[in-house]
Chains A and B, each alone.
Chain A
Amino acid sequence: MTQQESTTNEEAEELRIGAFICECGVNIAGAVDCNAVADYISTLPNVTTAVVNKYTCSDAGQDEIKKAIKELDLNRVLVASCTPKTHEPIFRACVEEAGLNPYLFEFVNIREHCSWIHMWEKEDATRKAKELVRMGVARAALLEPLQSSEVPVTNKALVIGAGVTGMQAAMDIGDMGFQVYLVEAGPSIGGKMAQLDKTFPTNDCSICILGPKMVEVNRNPNIEIMSYSEVEEVDGYVGNFDVKVKHKARYVDIDLCTGCNSCVEKCPVEVPYWEFNEGIGTRKAVYVPFPQAVPLRALIDKSICIDCGACSKACERGAINMDQEDTFSDLEVGVIVVCVGYDVYDPEPNHDFGFGLYDNVITTMEFERLINASGPTMGKVVRPSDVVQPKRIGFVQCVGSRDVNSNIYCSSFCCMASLKNAQLIKEKYPDSEVYIMYMDMRTPFRMYEEFYNRARDMDIHFIRGRPAEVTENEDQNIIARIEDTLTNKIENLELDMMVLSVGAVSPESTEKIRQILKVSRAADGFMMEAHPKLKPVDTTLDGIFIGGMTQGPKDIPYSISQGSACAARATRFLAQGKALTEGITIAVDEDICVRCEVCVPMCPFQALKMDDDGKLEIITALCKGCGTCAVACPTGALQQSHYKNNQILAQVKEVFAYEEV
């Protein structure tokens, strides 16, 4: 970053503020009389020029700012437009190009905080905009130049979550030549996609396309897979994250185990296999997650193990180690990609559509395991109550989605998932009667509408409506009382099995990592991106990215795209090898500091300490610029740059002075 040389004498310099008021097309001008704002602002002290732009952020708008800085010798620039959350970096770079220190730029939000929330009160909105800009002018006059510092970036990445999104992100980063730690909480990589039978719109076998990708990840020399591991702590900032990872004890030496299953055969303890088979079928206390698992290694579920020693005896390689304990690794990485996925909505607590009351009401995920050729029934679709193949199967859409009683959002993949599953039944058992009960079928994207049409041509019955009442008869058949809202006919539909097309929810288990990383949580519970359109995989935290279902429900192609997007966004830092830190930090005025040490424990980053001479030392590299310590300081010796008391109080004062003008 170039330093502006004339800044040392800023205090004595005559203030020359240029104010640029953006109309943002009609976004601002529709409610705020921007010319009136500019006229008013130009009367304020220190304002050299006040200009209205159609779009200040456009090339033309930015050129006008740069030209004005040079021609009018401006030493402060104020832009009144949208939100600094998206546009502050743009304008800071703009003024810097014209030779002004970027921290001599002041941003006033008159769109999100004014025109958009007072859309029909033009007079109020204009008056408020004048006041907001006036506050900004007062603050701009007191701004001081600051320096961002360049920090080196550790050229390694951490990817949390090894579902299909995380795998893609890891592969792309690895292929670009950077070391990746791929941390997965489960015993194998692959995620939810490994559980699915076939995938739309091609109906190719899910594990057949995922399996080779899992192997590829394992073979990538730049990727270190840490399965059955969890991120415990994250410290630091972009370029320099310190990460503590816990490797949960498998009670099997992963270097000795070959995944041969000898131990599994001998183990006498058997429980329903919830983690992979949705409780259909069983697993042993010692088990290999699934045949295509990576790493293909056994692990022992200590919570049910009876310590009989049968597995140890069976293992020729001596891989069983019952004394194994959790171990920890400390990693240093420059960037973090979070792809921790989703859970399917659980209809059990509310007994949605009889789930949990009637055996033959199941979820999509259970159905995926039932029809999967390598699943617990070897692909034979049977209903839970009597293990007989159902002839009449109904799918209920939007369970846990688009419902004020659960989640209001659309989970986006469930329409296609049910169309796919309905087709698979018709292909496998052509005599079946298949019903899809829906509110709206949503099938955007390439080949999806065609896929829907194909289902329509396969004699699958579509009923526009959802069951109002679900009961069970003496044969344990499901009776769904439903109105087809296209024909206004109400019928009692008798089904042998009913599949609830459950949506996606943000897993409770990922809340811990969200809080460790301090990524914002959106209203729907998923993690929040920096901008819904412009920065879909960034977070507000530099160097931390989110991809796939972590950000909200999406299908496989979209998730994979986001995995690649995360890799591209993250690798920018790794490739540059450096990052800029915020110039906003804390500074101490030693003449006023009374060395009371009240501030020291206020800092959560240990950036403050008393040195050997009893003086307060500020470790700027650790300071994140929150300013909390400045409030604790009883003498005002600590000041947060860019948010000094006089700067904040100048804004406060100008909230009120309007009547006097």
Chain B
Amino acid sequence: MADNNDWEPKIVAFCCNWCSYGGADTAGMGRFQQPASTRVIRVMCSGRIDPLHVYNAFLEGADAVLVTGCHLGDCHYVNGNEKTELKYQFLEEMVKQLGLEPERLHLNWISASEGERFANFINDVTAKVKEIGPSPLKPEGVS
């Protein structure tokens, strides 16, 4: 898998404004170094993350998609993340139907203070995705 060592996966991370986006900020403030694999897309609540967004990310060429939000009980909008948790079961099924490995989809609750947790998450997922290689759905010529 020598090729995979040089290859940098493309990971799309959907982050909620209040917690996980702040977690990504805190990772930066703490200078927790991460591979340059991930592109954060901010939404107000993880409840806003639509299967359509995840589906499109895979079709465009994402090697992995991360669904993140506040810890359960901490949602800024009462319980948006509980709805995310429900939708995530659907997303897992969707990923299976698309013929993708389960390692390409992850759910994680990260608070705004958990910079190290965010960085570890990115490091772990990137390493896992590097092991399994590029997404079979990735259109040709896209990286």
A648 on interface, CB distance cutoff 8 Å = yes
A119 near B87 with CB under 8 A, answer no
Q: Is B4 an interface residue (CB 8 A)?
A: no
Assuming the contacts A584-B44, A640-B44, A645-B52, asked whether A523 and B22 have C-beta atoms less than 8 A apart, the reply is no
Q: Is A521 an interface residue (CB 8 A)?
A: yes
In the assembled complex, the CB of A241 is this many whole angstroms from the nearest CB of chain B, namely 15
Chain B's interface size range is: 35 or more
Known contacts A85-B21, A626-B77; is A655 also within 8 Å of B39 by CB?
Answer: yes
B73 neighbours in A (Cβ, 8 Å)? 515
Interface assignment of B80: CB less than 8 Å from any CB of chain A: yes
User: Once the chains bind, are A659 and B143 in contact (CB under 8 Å)?
Assistant: yes
Residues of B within 8 A of A538 (CB): none
A515 adjacent to B41 (CB under 8 Å): no
Does B141 lie within 8 Å of A660, measured CB to CB?
yes
User: CB within 8 Å of B: which of A618-661?
Assistant: 624-628, 630-631, 640, 643, 645, 648-649, 651-653, 655-660
| Residue contact A648 to B61, C-beta cutoff 8 Å | no
Q: A652-B56, A658-B143 are in contact. Are A118 and B34 (CB under 8 A)?
A: yes
* A113-B40, A515-B74 known; A656 vs B10 contact (CB < 8 Å): yes
Residues of A within 8 A of B10 (CB): 655-656
Chain B residue, CB-CB nearest to A660: B141
The listed residue (B12, B48, B77, B119) touching A631 by CB distance below 8 A is B48
Q: How far is the CA of A125 from the CA of B33 in the complex (A)?
A: 11
CB within 8 Å for A518 and B76 given contacts A656-B142, A659-B141 = yes
Pick from A120, A540, A628, A651: contact of B48, CB below 8 A: A628
Q: In the bound complex, do residue A627 and residue B48 qualify as a contact, i.e. CB atoms below 8 Å apart? A: yes
A interface footprint on B1-38 (CB within 8 Å = 1, 0 otherwise)? 00000001010100000110110111111011110100
Rounded to whole Å, the gap between the CB of B134 and the closest CB of chain A is 12
CA distance A571 to B78 in the complex (A): 27
Q: Which residues of A contact B19 (CB under 8 A)?
A: 520
Judge if A121 is at the interface, Cβ distance under 8 Å: yes
> Are the CB atoms of B41 and A648 closer together than 8 Å?
yes
Identify the stretch in A89-97, A126-134, A255-263, A455-463 within 8 Å (CB) of chain B at 4 or more residues.
Answer: A126-134
Q: Which residues of chain A are within 8 angstroms of B113 by Cβ–Cβ distance?
A: 520-523, 528
Assembled-state Cα–Cα distance A99/B105 (Å): 43
Nearest CB of A to B139, in Å: 8
A102, chain B: closest CB distance, angstroms: 16
**Contacting pair A119 B31 (CB below 8 A):** yes
By the criterion CB–CB under 8 Å, are B74 and A645 in contact? no
Selected from B22, B33, B80, B141, the residue in CB contact (under 8 A) with A628 is B80
20 sample A-B contacts, Cβ–Cβ < 8 Å, listed by A number: A85-B21, A117-B27, A117-B33, A118-B34, A127-B36, A128-B36, A131-B39, A520-B113, A532-B29, A605-B78, A626-B45, A628-B45, A628-B47, A643-B43, A645-B50, A649-B53, A655-B62, A656-B60, A659-B142, A660-B142
**Given pairs A112-B28, A652-B56, 13 additional interface contacts (CB within 8 A):** A85-B21, A113-B25, A135-B41, A518-B74, A520-B74, A528-B111, A631-B51, A643-B43, A648-B43, A651-B41, A656-B60, A657-B142, A659-B141
